Each structure stands twice: as C-alpha cells, then as structure tokens.
Amino acid sequence: MSDDISRKLESKLDEKIFSQSRKKQLKDGFKKGKVVNEVLDKPTVMTLYKLITDHIIAFVNGPISAGKESVVFWAVDEKNVDVALKIYLVSTSNFKKREAYILGDPRFSKLKKGTRNLVFLWAKKEFKNLSRCYDCGIPVPKPIHLTRNVLAMEFVGKNGSPCKVLLESQIDENDYNQAISIIKNLYTKAELVHGDFSEYNIFKTDNGLVLFDLGSAVDLRHPNAQEFLKRDINNITRFFSKRGIRVNDPTNVFKEMIS
Ligand SMILES: Nc1ncnc2c1ncn2[C@@H]1O[C@H](COP(=O)(O)OP(=O)(O)O)[C@@H](O)[C@H]1O
Ligand SMILES: [Mg+2]
C-alpha cells in the first residue's frame, strides 16, 4: 500500500481514538486508545486496509457473527464474489485456555510469548489446518489468504448469509455417515483431529456437509489427539442420536478409526 495513504489513514484513526479518549464516557464503543468498536483494534483496521490494497478483497460489508475469540465478517472481492473474513480478536484474555491446543503441536514448537503473538499463531494454525484439509479433499471452506489475525476464506452461503449449520438443519442418516467419514478422513488423510467437531461447526449445504472452525484442530502427534478424537466422535454421535437417527456405538467407531 502507498506509504502516504497508509500514514494518512493511521493518523485519522489516531485522531478519532484520541478525540474519543479525552471524553470520560466514550461514544460508540471506542475504548481509550485501544479498541475500535470493542472489536477491531487499530492494527486490525490497518490489516483490513492492507487486504484491500493487496486486492484480496474490495470491501467489507459487515459482521456475520461475533464470538468471544473471533468475529466473522462478510467481505466481497473485486470480482464481486463473497469472502468470509475471520478476525481473531487480540483484545481478549480468553486466549490463555487455547494455549493447550498449540503447545504440544510440534508444528508450533517455537512459541513467542505474548497474547498478540498467540493470536497471530492461532490464526495461522486455522489457516494451515484449512489448507491441509482442502489439499486432502476434505470439504472445508477454501482458504484464500492470511495476514496477521485476519483469515480470508471462501464464503459458504448466499448473499452474505451463511449456510445453515447442522443444528439448524433437517438431518438424516446420510448426514451422520458424512460426518463420521469427515472425521475419519481428517484423521487418516489430513492427520488432524478437529477438537471441536459439533453441530455448530458444520454447514449443511446443497452439496453435502462442510466442516469449519478449524482453529482448535491438532496434529495427530499432539499428546491429546486421541482423547480429542474420542470426544469429537462422542459429541457428534450424541447429537444425531438425540435427533432420532440410528448411530453406531461411538466406542466402536473410535476403535475402528485408530486401528
Ligand atoms: N467460511 C464461512 N462462510 C460463511 N460464514 C462463515 C464462514 N466461517 C464462519 N462463518 C460464520 O461465522 C460463524 C462463526 O464461525 P466459527 O469459525 O465457528 O467461529 P467461532 O470460533 O466464533 O465459533 C459461523 O457459525 C458462521 O455463521
Ligand atoms: Mg464455531
């Protein structure tokens, strides 16, 4: 991006944050010199701006979902194709508990200290996991780009509305079989365990299930990989079973998978 424009934008942001921070009661969620609208801090806004000047996206439309650790935005690229931006929040203390999913994964052994670096690493982890799955032919949103804490990926849905997840969908035995086969392919082909495999993190599209939210997925070499695998199988089995769908004994599914 042009240095000049970039500097101007930066000083504009500074101005705004500074003028807000002088007031005691801050309007529209600006926090003292730190966070824009409680969600995007200044470096994140700069990163979004960089995505535009790097032609990854043309503009950002608006938020789709706000979680504790990330927010997902609907953006559009220069060809008018929808893009999902998952923005990992730097201003969160919740990341501490996530350390366990990174420490122990040999891919991330050289860990730099500090929340900010941990957040960048987490975004990188999700991007790598998505890429690995995508390359193995596992149905996930196609990863597009990663800069710092902002991950751009294929938008699964239409006109800015994400596809329904399993929880919100009519489901049948075929969906159960697909879900189990995704866990299996994840394990045997991508050598990953999702770690948060649930009805909340699987889209049901017209072309079958699509798995997402791969930030917590771990490499098989992670010491807790098998425990996470067991939990993933148990959780999804419970969900299908509660909906009255015939399921296999999760213990057997697990044993078969690791054999
Ligand atoms: N690739 C995508 N395309 C469309 N919507 C998405 C995409 N990824 C995430 N979303 C939307 O954002 C929500 C939260 O995403 P998720 O990755 O599960 O984040 P969290 O870590 O907050 O659970 C999803 O339920 C979905 O509505
Ligand atoms: Mg999720």
Domains parsed from the chain with CATH numbers: 29-161 (3.30.200.20), 163-258 (1.10.510.10)
Q: Which of 39, 64, 211 to mutate to test the pocket of ligand 1 (most atoms within 8 A of CB)?
A: 64
Longest dimension (CA), the chain: 63
- Measured CA to CA, the distance from residue 144 to residue 151 in angstroms comes to 8
**CA gap 166, 188 in Å, rounded:** 23
What is the dihedral sign for C-alpha 116, 103, 143, 82?
Answer: negative
Q: What is the pLDDT along the chain (259 residues), one digit of tens a residue?
A: 556 766 666 666 666 555 554 444 444 433 444 444 556 888 999 999 999 999 999 999 999 999 888 999 999 999 999 999 999 998 765 655 666 677 677 787 666 667 788 899 999 999 999 999 999 999 999 999 999 999 999 999 999 999 999 999 999 999 999 999 999 999 999 999 999 999 999 999 999 999 999 999 999 999 999 999 999 999 999 999 999 999 999 999 999 999 9
Given the residues 41, 82, 175, 213, the one annotated as active site: 213
| Ligand nearest to the CA of residue 215, numbered in listed order | 1
Question: Which residue's alpha carbon is at the smallest distance from atom 14 of ligand 1?
Answer: 65
Q: Closest Cα to residue 154, out of 67, 250, 88, 56?
A: 56
